[in-house]
Amino acid sequence: MRIIKNLPRLSQKASMLRIVRIECISNGNYRITVQNNSEIKRHSWLTNITFHPNNTITATCNCDWHTRSKGHVVGCSHIMAALYGLGRQQQRKISFFATNDEAKAQNPEKILRLVAECSPYVHSPNATIYIATWAA
């Protein structure tokens, strides 16, 4: 597990991706298709977002990076894009932070934790993305 140092770059990348489709598979489980904006090299990724009790989220993505990690990394730009899309659909504004303190400093209504899939209930502060949310 490693600290997510490149979070601002990742969220910047995520904000440039677009959401093609949001499917609700079951209560708290979504399959979200994300696409790049390139006209020349169009590419789609399939993400799966699961909401657990205690404001915890796990997610998977079929991109190379996330697949190779075998559930040991928290998020990629596609997962973050999917969460932005889900937030928009649920009329919530969301913002990503590397620490709980940074998220708290924004005074959000709620802080969600995106954690690695291999240990959804083991809260490791070094392998968590904190998601501050507000009603939009």
92, 98 contact by CB (below 8 A): no
3-state secondary structure the chain: CCCCCCHHHHHHHHHCCEEEEEEEEECCEEEEEEECCCCCCCCEEEEEEEEECCCEEEEEECCHHHHHCCCCCCCCHHHHHHHHHHHHHCCEEEEEECCHHHHHHCCCCEEEEEECCCCCCCCCHHHEEEEEEEEC
Q: Does 61 bind Zn ion (CB under 5 A)?
A: yes
* Stretch of residues binding Zn ion (CB under 5 A), selected from 19-27, 65-73, 81-89, 107-115: 65-73
Q: From the CB of 109, what's the least distance to Zn ion, in Å? A: 27
In the set 66, 75, 80, 116, which binds Zn ion (CB under 5 A)?
A: 66
Q: Does 76 bind Zn ion (CB under 5 A)?
A: yes
* Stretch of residues binding Zn ion (CB under 5 A), selected from 62-70, 84-92, 99-107, 113-121: 62-70
Q: Does 74 bind Zn ion (CB under 5 A)?
A: no
In the set 46, 63, 111, 118, which binds Zn ion (CB under 5 A)?
A: 63
- Residue reference for tokens 């932070």: 97
Q: From the CB of 10, what's the least distance to Zn ion, in Å? A: 10
Q: Does 114 bind Zn ion (CB under 5 A)?
A: no
Q: Which residues are at the interface with Zn ion (CB under 5 A)?
A: 61, 63, 66, 76, 78
